[in-house]
Chains A and B, each alone.
Chain A
Amino acid sequence: MNRDYYLDLARRGLRFVIGADLVLHEDADPERTRRNGEGLGRVVEKTARRQKSPLAIPLMDLRLEKLDLLGPLHLSEAEADAWKLAEPDEELFRALESAPAGFPELNRAQHEAVRYIDEQTDLLPVGMVIGPFSLTTKLMADPIAAVAMAGGGVTPDEEPQVRLLTALHALAERAVLRSAKAQLQAGARALLVCEPAANIVYLSPRQMRQGADIFERFVLGPNRRLKQTLKDGSADLFFHDCGELLTEMVRAFGEDLHPKILSLGSSRKLWDDAAVVPKDVVLYGNLPTKSFYSDAAMPVEEVLRRTRELIREMRKTGHAHILGSECDVLWVDGAADTIRNKVEAMQRHEVAQ
């Protein structure tokens, strides 16, 4: 889609949260539906229609690419989720390079859900992948120290942890590209790339200010290549990072990756970020939905106050904005109604000019 399509959605006041998990849990057997492509596709469709959004944002399941990457190890889903490597293992690296022909069950369901949206609805089919850097951090026992050592100029030959980081990062990028291509083949016209670990916990602001290339090497470079894959497949990039960021990082996401939609976490003031993000990039977010489960931590009045503030401040900037969540809105046992009420309240709330 051209940029005008998304800019127009913003101008028309579209509001939606990344909320398929909430709708999935309305199902009698969410775990079964999660594994059924058409069933999952219906959940994604219902999520979009309920919010009057033409964008079919999928269920945010950031385990999928890890599950696929670890396929050659024949682990259970739970084992794959918990799997982390503490030391380099060349034999293992070689084994992981041999991706199997098919995808795991959960991944196939995600692809089929995209296909369902593409073939059975008038919604825009959106795929989703974890970002290469964030996937890397899920594969390592101690990613922060390794990235910090790499940022300090330590090479893979000098330090096993940097060797581990470098090898797993390459594997992660391959797995993400494989996932992206499969979703494009299933009909995705846009891809939401979730890179929440690209933040100042993993990437030292001190090192970056001193000129370390860690942000370029581990985050921007791979995501630039991912964007090229999307471009080759005529699909749009939506980029999401709910981590704590430096303004320089936000600027780079906007200018360098130049996504159609940039989604940021609630630690950012979007109206400040509007000054460093190109005008043709729609900013999405960023109500603190992670706190919606608690009326004490986030009463509905505060949700409405923040809704008003965000809409008014963004109007002042003139920057295209879609009101939404800071991340995916998870179903919380015992608090689902509380969360839904707040999501509905922020969507209904009229904000005067």
Chain B
Amino acid sequence: MADIQKLYDAILNGDAKSAAAIANEAIAENMSPMELIQKTMVPAMDEVGRRFECEEYFVPELLLSARAMKAALGPLRPLLAASGAQPAGRVVIGTVKGDLHDIGKNLVASLLEGGGFDVVDLGADVSPDKFIEAVKNSGANIVCLSALLTVTMPSMKTTIEAMKSAGVREQVKVLVGGAPVTKQFAEEIGADGYGENASVAVSLARTLTKPVSA
């Protein structure tokens, strides 16, 4: 029988191979995917988040755990979709135009996926038009904008303004983050939220969204 405690431990320890293997075993034994997620996997990620907040874990541990969560979710997703379960939200994420840095963006995307969000990752150096097109095509309810450089921060404002002009701003919540970004800057450019780190960004996304139709 699949050892569910080991699934919890695998996520906590960032062991993606074990996490996926145990999830597969659990499916083979007809365990409920939703129960696995809600009773084991989400609590494991919550514990990861707690350890991150108290500086017992750091970004590398956070990332490995998110990868393990994603690996375990892999075999569960088709079953969830078949059962009509809805994602926590649908997110379009990218580093804004002119900025090629993607480490922070990748981390947030991984944690969002681990947190049960559908994520459309547009990569780095993303133009406002691409964000708008992705929002229209995906039906996203969150847009996450990342920038590492002070010189590219204005692209965040440009993107938000372009979304207004294109008539998609009201259908999404916009979160911004990155090393030079501040809460004050987020407010100035009309964003809905500012994540000072990846963990906060995911919490904010959870707070700001409700499940969307699949």
Contact = CB atoms under 8 A, between A and B. Distances in A.
B60 A147 contact: yes
Interface string A58-101: 00000000000000000000000110000000000000000000
A204 to B, nearest CB: 4
A201 interface: yes
B14 A148 contact: yes
A1 interface: no
B211 interface: no
Nearest to B180: A290
Contacts of B150: 290-291, 293, 330, 332
Contacts, number: 67
Nearest to A149: B64
Given A137-B103, A145-B64, A332-B150, A205 B58 contact: yes
Contact of B100 (A82, A143, A147): A82
B107 A144 contact: yes
Interface in A294-353: 294, 296-297, 330-334
B106 A142 contact: yes
A202 interface: yes
A142 to B, nearest CB: 7
A275 interface: no
Interface string A31-60: 000000000000000000000000000000
Contacts of B63: 144-145, 148
A145 B61 contact: no
B87 to A, nearest CB: 23
Given A82-B100, A293-B150, A206 B106 contact: no
A346 B50 CA distance: 41
Given A143-B103, A145-B63, A148-B63, A330 B151 contact: yes
Contacts of B180: 290-291
A137 B63 CA distance: 15
Contacts of B106: 141-142
A82 B125 contact: yes
A207 B151 contact: no
A334 B151 CA distance: 10
Interface in A197-212: 200-207
Nearest to A147: B60
Interface in B58-86: 58-61, 63-64, 67
B154 interface: yes
B56 interface: yes
Given A82-B100, A144-B103, A332 B151 contact: yes
A137 B103 CA distance: 9
A151 interface: yes
Interface residues of B, number: 26
A333 B60 contact: no
Contacts of A203: 60
A145 B67 contact: yes
Contacts of B56: 206
A148 B59 CA distance: 10
A291 B153 CA distance: 12
A144 B60 contact: yes
Given A144-B107, A148-B14, A148-B64, A201 B59 contact: yes
B60 A202 contact: yes
Nearest to A158: B17
Given A142-B106, A330-B151, A206 B61 contact: yes
B111 to A, nearest CB: 12
Interface string B36-57: 0000000000000000000011
Contacts of B60: 144-145, 147-148, 151, 201-204, 206-207
Contacts of B179: 290
Interface centre among A145, A207, A332 (most CB of B within 10 A): A145
Nearest to B182: A297
A328 to B, nearest CB: 11
A291 B59 CA distance: 24
Contacts of A137: 103
Nearest to B14: A148
A293 B179 CA distance: 14
A207 B63 CA distance: 14
Given A151-B60, A294-B185, A330 B149 contact: yes
Contacts of A151: 60
Nearest to B67: A145
Q: Which 3 A-B residue pairings sit nearest by Cβ, starting from the closest? A: A148-B60, A204-B60, A201-B59
Interface of B: 14, 56-61, 63-64, 67, 100, 103, 106-107, 124-125, 149-151, 154, 179-180, 182, 184-185, 188
9 contacts: A143-B103, A145-B64, A201-B58, A201-B103, A206-B56, A206-B57, A290-B179, A331-B151, A333-B154
Given A151-B60, A206-B60, A330-B149, 15 more contacts: A82-B100, A137-B103, A141-B106, A144-B107, A148-B14, A201-B58, A201-B59, A204-B58, A206-B57, A206-B58, A290-B179, A296-B184, A297-B184, A330-B151, A332-B151
